[in-house]
Structure 1
């Protein structure tokens, strides 16, 4: 893609030098009674948020934490989690987000690799954390099962600003990459990059002060953090819920007069598979924005729920969105923001022709917003770069007008009978089956030295609450009219619940590659017609 801001880039305002600490203090001074966040029946104002953030920051300062120290956060989706995120930013501490569902070896890996000095955690996770506590100098607990949910010692602290001023490019977080195919890596995130992603959100969504975003994302993931920062920058409001729920999604949107909803991963298909209701369009939501909407569901979702779709593309290693599509063709991830150049490249780093699939590679036009590296992982960092270009591992194609389209993960390309297969392409077709709620396709070893295809299926529940009965052979016969023979899975296994990232992406690395417990097409005696 040639760098021409008139035709191949989307204009966006520069990222100012005002830090997160300064931004929060200014917004609280300008509009102390302004609503920042709704949570259940509570309302958190900007003034109250800043005061609580300062109290927690002063508590951490009193305990000896200083700029650059790494601090783990293992907290539920609650306004207190927002307070903790901003308190660390006020002190220039480096946030180490911890998924509340981690336990055992995965939790140990995070503590050993990212090595936080201190931890702020909810007492609910004390048992899972017990083996790691000896590695920490300080642990600050939030509440307990028989105590009020509050940070220990917070009420006695001053609400004045703490005695430190972080700089715009200080590192403030080690954000774990999604880790769907390997161990998570700690991505270095600066104050500036943490603010750039939210600016991209505001550019994509066209949000205005007073608009309300439904916040269902877990705050141990960068997408959720970007949303809470965007509310400070853009003057929007948050309607925070404890977890994503497809059945309650639109009720929550109506309750809080939500104007913008965010989607990632399997959110769009899950909402579409909810039973149709008379109130599907009786809400105030105007914009659905995010990444990963299956192109064939774009129009269906828009028409059923009466919302405008806004798609983009981003990744943990850069910012929330690298490309945005505020008004382009359906299914496109848009064009690059002014901050970046994007090129679709072959394995040698050369541009691929228009219409052909290549790896999405990104080069920062603003050096401070480029890939800042992985924490203590020089090998992974080096393998992710080719000169000035960051190698995303994602595939895309570009049309004649310069619009980009996502085409799956490079590492999820399987090879079967001499033919390359994109798992993403197969999954989006099979996901249309009316009895399938969710699915994932993986490769398993073949006697021929290539891949066989194993499909994991979570069956959709019927209206009466009983699961549908899905015959594997009937599914294979259904797929014959929709897939070429070499894309039809050999193995089918059923699963009650998929392991997922905070963005609702299925973690394929945790799905077993064994086939002894799976239905086998070859053993069934049925032969696929070619």
Structure 2
């Protein structure tokens, strides 16, 4: 039967009618929801929200600890024509205050622990503790033509600055789900793994993909490289998606019998590390394919399961139907033919604005084209990622890409992950400062210096001398966004906690 592609809760109801008692959602807590149970619980939650006065155009914020209630509340809000704002339940008061300043919700649905932790900030807010009534028939609220109403706010990653809020319509989220289902070639027998927190956007998009394809989503909510493939085997996963530093972290874990003792047939990643792509495939026995997309655009480029691939080349695949791409040079002129430039995207899933941020909207979205801030290369009809435009170190008048240096550092067998920042320098303007999470932490100053030199020697296989980091700070672990990006904006202020090696002066110090 054809599925509803205008109304999210309508999609859930249609999928329930098509697939009944088959399982659509499993969580690490042991929850197992069938297509029918998901639709029924969504309807029950929608009725409870309606009793709280929520209706079309309202916004509910969701600070829940995980599991199915968060996803079901998003669908339930959509069925009322409301928008949901999932937020990290571990936020500080300062972070929560910033978000509530961006989006003033009409209702907050929170856990009891969250309400206690933020009692002062929430005392004058409309707050409802988590409660999901059940037992109301799935079709009691009916379908509505709500495709153009906002349905889910998302927050940009905030890896280098404070997050911005974006909102997508029901139709845009449905198109994102269909694009993901097509990219992963989902079939009813597929079991797709996500190991991101459920308040992030990708797990919701995967749920929509599985609802549209009749497949099963399995949510771990937390990525742990040391037992990831044991989870793949235990949950009988056929396909999975990783992002950020996850592939590099996986390939840096000690070898295990579980590396190939699984039934997965394919993996996708936003950012497969090129220097270790072949190693990933050899070690884990599956093909890793590329994805590229943003909160503001949805899926932009993806390698399908039958795509021709050049392992380690970084080519990103094809755009979904209706998505248009162009490259723009530093003068603002559109690049024709082969070349590189800032990627701009136009299509049905591109957001129209940042919520309550007109200056950011004007800077980023012009005539329907969204400027990603990413520099890509085009050869023929193929694209590959090069770097972030603003993520640079300006050393002796030359712009050095932080991400290029980070990629070279991650190729070291001594490095789990790395982040590069500029460090002020009186002579060169800025120096390259690398924050490195080593496989084995150095035990003293001499060991830290020796480790820094070994890492630099390995990075020199890919980088010229001017790009090698002068300063290396060895961190215990990185603070990360839900998308597993390193939160760079806090590193400098925390640097004194960790040992730092100054390779230029051949001495080590603190801070």
Alignment TM-score, normalising by the size of structure 2: 0.90
8 Å contact 1:120–1:141 — kept in the other structure? yes
User: Aligned-pair distance for 1:477?
Assistant: 4.1
1:371 counterpart residue number: 351
1:336 aligns with 2:325: no
Superposed, 1:218-233 pairs within 5 Å as 218-233=197-212
1:61 aligns with 2:50: yes
Superposed, 1:462-473 pairs within 5 Å as 471-473=451-453
Change (3 A) 1:118 1:48: same
1:345 counterpart residue number: 328
Distance 1:407 1:128 in 2: 42
2:478 counterpart residue number: 498
Q: Pick one of 19, 22, 30 that aligns with 2:18.
A: 30
User: Aligned-pair distance for 1:336?
Assistant: 2.5
What's the secondary structure of 1:209's corresponding residue? coil
2:444 counterpart residue number: none
Change (3 A) 1:514 1:303: closer
Distance 2:477 2:164 in 1: 25
Change (3 A) 1:284 1:348: same
Q: Pick one of 79, 83, 86 that aligns with 2:75.
A: 86
1:133 counterpart residue number: 122
User: Aligned-pair distance for 1:253?
Assistant: 1.2
Change (3 A) 1:19 1:163: closer
Superposed, 1:394-413 pairs within 5 Å as 394-399=374-379, 401-413=380-392
8 Å contact 1:70–1:116 — kept in the other structure? yes
What's the secondary structure of 1:336's corresponding residue? coil
1:356 counterpart residue number: 339
Q: Pick one of 18, 27, 32 that aligns with 1:43.
A: 32
Q: Pick one of 294, 305, 308 that aligns with 2:273.
A: 294
User: Aligned-pair distance for 1:511?
Assistant: 1.6
2:251 counterpart residue number: 272
Change (3 A) 1:54 1:285: same
1:219-246 deviations in Å (ceiling 9; x for gaps): 2211111011111011110122241111
What's the secondary structure of 1:496's corresponding residue? coil
What's the secondary structure of 1:337's corresponding residue? coil
Q: Pick one of 190, 198, 205 that aligns with 2:184.
A: 205
8 Å contact 1:123–1:141 — kept in the other structure? yes
Distance 1:420 1:69 in 2: 45
1:178 counterpart residue number: 157
What's the secondary structure of 1:317's corresponding residue? coil
User: Aligned-pair distance for 1:264?
Assistant: 0.3
Change (3 A) 1:157 1:452: same
Distance 2:495 2:48 in 1: 53
8 Å contact 2:328–2:335 — kept in the other structure? yes
User: Aligned-pair distance for 1:116?
Assistant: 1.0
Change (3 A) 1:448 1:385: farther
1:380 counterpart residue number: 360
1:11 counterpart residue number: none
Distance 2:269 2:97 in 1: 32
8 Å contact 2:424–2:431 — kept in the other structure? yes
Deviates further, 322-331 or 66-75: 322-331
User: Aligned-pair distance for 1:34?
Assistant: 1.3
CA-atom RMSD, angstroms? 2.4
User: Aligned-pair distance for 1:427?
Assistant: 0.7
8 Å contact 2:67–2:198 — kept in the other structure? no
Distance 1:335 1:163 in 2: 37
Q: How many residues align?
A: 493
Change (3 A) 1:343 1:304: same
1:521 counterpart residue number: 503
Uncovered stretches (5+) of structure 2, i.e. residues with no partner:
442-446
Change (3 A) 1:35 1:421: same
Distance 1:135 1:69 in 2: 18
What's the secondary structure of 1:471's corresponding residue? helix
